[in-house]
Structure 1
Amino acid sequence: MVQTYGATPAAVEERGPDLQPSQSGESDALLGADASARRPKRDGHATLSSSVGNLANTIIGSGMLTFPLAMASAGIIPGIITCIFSGSVAAFGLYLLTLCATKAPHRRASFFAIAELTFPRAAVFFDAAIAIKCFGVSISYLIIVKSLMPNVIAALYHDLSLGDPPAWAQSGRVWITILMGVLFPLSFMRKIDTYLVVVVIGTQAPGEIRLIHFTPNFVSTFPVQVFAYTCAQNIFPIFNEVSSNTQARMNIVIGTSIGSAALIYEIIAIFGYLTFGSKVGANIIAMYPSTSLFIAIGQFAIAILVMFSYPLQVHPCRNCLDKVFHIGHVEVEDEHGGSPDMSPLKHILLTVTIVVCGFAIAFFVDDLQMVLSFVGSTGSTTISFILPGLFYWKLSHSDPTANKSLSKAALALAVYGMCVFVFCLSFNIYQVVRPSSSVQH
């Protein structure tokens, strides 16, 4: 789900004299230009299908669990429309980023490289947005484990006729506390969409269903859809690696990935909502009966999945925070996307801070939807809408050959992202401060 999103050392070498750090000096810039000219251009080797799969897997994740609740906050028809709308706007943001990528050095596109061409200081905002997103996703993983493991244990005891499980095993807080003491690998493949689709289609117990039913919670659940389509951090690596990265082929990658994700989201949202109606919760899979062995096995698999994925969020969050703290000067990133001079002490302090803060929030917060809503209205909105719009607008508004209508649309996307950021974030904060004032659907 998380890829290297900063400039690699090779990317910095190939930026040429116009993009070299000012403190490098004119001679260094000329040497960099000569080296870049001598270096042969490399080709991408990724296939179109693997690129689609990579981007689609980045999109489809924990956000899908909350789509039925998002549909319940507006009704079936508005829910279907907003799901398609969110996917379309996200696809437009990705399209703008691929256009920006053509302005970067050959197959060295990154948010860092584009920021150097447009708003050099904007790189820190991207890093902050990625840090927020990864931190929020890590919290959502803990909340998922917290909600699923008690169900799994209850199903196991029921299936084996062991009576009631001990009280400690029915506490989600105990399970995430145990989780924090386990060492997980740095990478793990994640794919939960197929199982979830089977569950929501195969289990039916209709509640109150409405075609159109807007509630105040719609404002809070809408950013979840923004979060669910967020994959901008992966579009540049795909652009760099896909063979023949023409705009037409990149459009196929974007359209197929977003389209397949939208189809899965619509199925989960509709059938999940039809199952529980107005009583649907923030984590759809946690609502299914724990007495079913099939569902319990799936819940356990998802819990294991997100547990092993947790370090994948801490790793880029730590690297981004390190770069945020280095605002004001340009650094060459190492091969892992971090700063090469991060001291062991800083590494430990940042990691402990991220893990402890995330654990504390997940320990006391049960609302998965609220966590994803905060992430969607801040980090995801910045990555998917604000930065793509501003980047393309900056690159095109002074270019006489650029499409002016597209430039205006890019600026409109950035403004739209800012509105979502301010309005939805404000509403989420209001819900936290005044929970009793929130009208439930």
Structure 2
Amino acid sequence: MELEKLSTEEEDTEMMVNGHHMNDSNAEKMIFNDGYEAAESTMAESAEFLPHKSGSKQIQFTDFEGKTSIGMSVFNLSNAIMGSGILGLAYAMSNTGIVLFVFLLICIATLSAYSIHLLLKSAGFVGIRAYEQLGHKAFGQPGKIIAAVIISVHNIGAMSSYLYIIKYELPLVIQAFLQLHESNGMWYMNGNYLIIIVSIFIILPLALMRQLGYLGYTSGFSLTCMVFFLIALIYKRFQIPCPLPIYGNESHHNDHTFSSNGKNHTIEEECTAKLFTVNPQTAYTIPILAFAFVCHPEVLPIYTELRSPTKKRMQRVANISIAGMFTMYLITAVFGYLTFYGNVETELLHTFNRVNPLDTLLLCVRLAVLVAVTLTVPVVLFPIRRAIQQLLFPGKAFHWLRHIAIAFTLLICVNLLVILVPNIRDIFGIIGATTAPTLIFMLPGLFYVRIVPNDKEPLKSRPKIQAICFATLGFIFMIMSLSFIFLEWTRSDGRSHIGGH
């Protein structure tokens, strides 16, 4: 018994020693594994996506691993938000008054940020960062087709509006810089030739970039041009007298009344800012502001290329971009309105022509706006190409020939549209009135309701009720915008004032 007890004790001692050595030899390995698992858990939590039901594995994005910084992403999204509609905001303020305009601008900016929140949260549940794929996840193949078509139509309309600005403004800028009193009939004064040249030598090379993140530098320069536009606008506010002088007639109004737009006004009436006003054109303000914040087709592509992508980081990009554009929009509207008051036109730059079209500073401003518009076109083209790839080449790997062919074909189509159709203002109005509310309000709300599982958020939960109300609001905006356009068409002397993005 003693020998057995001694043998047992020796075996126990040996096992303890061996176990001790095993622990010593595996200590680093265990610590490493613990640290790796902790890091993996931390990364999973920071991704902010809900775990899959089958286990603790997080849903991860599998489409692309981005490398774009937050700063470059902010530049790209801000450039996507900032459209030609910024030139019509002073006109919108003149038809609402300062207080009502600021209130509406805050509401639209807040709703736009909430819309992006719905998109990002929907993408987080399914691990998809493509607008078209979200449509497929929510409503099957019809949803994918509808989302792709709406994005393509809206962005083609936006590209066309930018090229129209180049077509009509660039010849005037060249004419003014050459000190020509009228067009000399040369080819460089033909807007059709100019948009082809700009498309080939500036837009196409930028559109051939493989990743949208590379356009962060050009987007930053585009925003710099618009900052110069704002500085010049503030400066001119204190240089241009009121009432507005007519170019070529330097006489001042010595009377207390004068004629403006066929009506007699007192100087006090004409040169006093209105805090709150309502007129037949006031109803157009909401569509104009809604269109000015359309950037949703670009949100998910920018999210795709964001470095260390999480919903929190992308929402930060969206909030900074919207806040920046809110500030630029507000400054443009306030100083444009306080410069011209009731005489401000639907496009702000046209109003400056009534003062002195040959003013050097104003020529530089027009050129800066043209540069900003030109550099925005490639950013708008990226979502169209992605939508076409999702529809025609789903699951196909990247191929340079296909990448180049789609961009080249899109530019040809848009150039032909701008050259052959002399006036498509009403077409743009219809497109903008239908696609903008759909992209901002209706689709994000519907995606959220359909994609987020009911066991996570029941249909009667507050987030889903808010999303349903949000989509309903978009439908109301669309009906309202279309009604305004049709009513304007019935007026013999009316023109559509709804600006596109």
Relative to the length of structure 1, the TM-score reads 0.75
CA contact (8 A) 1:147 1:286 kept: no
Return the offset for 1:282: 2.4
- Structure 1 pair 171/388, CA: closer, same or farther in 2 (3 Å)? same
Aligned mate of 2:191, from 165, 169, 175: 175
CA contact (8 A) 1:388 1:414 kept: yes
Return the offset for 1:249: 3.1
Return the offset for 1:50: 3.2
Mean Cα displacement is larger for which, 386-395 or 131-140? 131-140
Structure 2 portions without partners, runs of 5+? 1-51, 53-57, 207-214, 244-269
Determine whether 1:331 maps to 2:364: no
Return the offset for 1:48: 3.2
Determine whether 1:357 maps to 2:390: no
1:408-441 Cα shifts (integer Å, max 9, x gaps): 111111111111112202322332453525699x
Determine whether 1:389 maps to 2:445: yes
2:164: which partner in 1? 143
- Structure 1 pair 316/38, CA: closer, same or farther in 2 (3 Å)? closer
1:88: which partner in 2? 110
Aligned mate of 1:426, from 443, 460, 483: 483
Matches within 5 A, 1:370-409: 373-396=429-452, 398-401=454-457, 404-409=461-466
Return the offset for 1:199: 2.0
- Structure 1 pair 116/320, CA: closer, same or farther in 2 (3 Å)? closer
Structure 1 portions without partners, runs of 5+? 1-17, 19-35
RMSD over aligned Cα atoms = 3.8
Return the offset for 1:285: 2.6
Return the offset for 1:279: 1.9
SS in 2 for 1:180: helix
1:303-357 Cα shifts (integer Å, max 9, x gaps): 3453465566567557757877x6xxx83355389989x9x8x999876554323
Determine whether 1:228 maps to 2:316: no
SS in 2 for 1:103: helix
Distance 1:397 1:337 in 2: 38
1:193-242 Cα shifts (integer Å, max 9, x gaps): 20221122111234633222222223334322222211112222343343
2:233: which partner in 1? 200
| One-letter amino acid matched to 2:436 | S
Return the offset for 1:58: 1.9
2:358: which partner in 1? 291
SS in 1 for 2:125: coil
SS in 2 for 1:102: helix
Q: Percent identity?
A: 23
Return the offset for 1:244: 4.4
2:317: which partner in 1? 253
Mean Cα displacement is larger for which, 266-275 or 63-72? 63-72
| One-letter amino acid matched to 1:197 | L
Return the offset for 1:378: 2.0
1:69: which partner in 2? 91
2:183: which partner in 1? 166
Relative to the length of structure 2, the TM-score reads 0.67
1:110-169 Cα shifts (integer Å, max 9, x gaps): 1122222211221222222212222221221133224423542443244xxxx6233547
Return the offset for 1:60: 1.9
1:119: which partner in 2? 139
Determine whether 1:265 maps to 2:324: no
Distance 1:171 1:392 in 2: 50
Mean Cα displacement is larger for which, 96-105 or 263-272? 96-105
**Number of aligned pairs?**
388
